[in-house]
Amino acid sequence: MVFRFLLRYLANNEQLIQRMAESYPMRRAAQMVVSIMYRSKNMAQERGIHDMTPERFKSFISFFKDNIKKEIEGVKDQMKKKPF
């Protein structure tokens, strides 16, 4: 309750928001986000992912999730087998 009130106060404090927006960490974080966005866009264009159909994209995501699950299971098995 108090936390929500404090966050609402800070979010509505225009001077605080302006000072935070002008701070170096916020500007640097924004630069990094834009850089990652452009890099991923270029990478998608190079690999032909940007013109992917929704069905193909869904299959790509499900394939990716399956691979991640398999890798996690493999790591869990290795951790169980490894003596401490």
Domain limits, the chain: 1-51, 53-84
pLDDT reading at 84 higher than 70: no
Say what the pLDDT of residue 73 is: 93
pLDDT digits (tens, 9 = 90+) for 31-83: 999 999 999 888 888 887 777 788 888 898 899 999 999 999 999 888 888 77
Token pair of 2, please?
């108090």
Identify whether the C-beta of residue 13 lies closer than 8 Å to the C-beta of residue 19. Answer: no
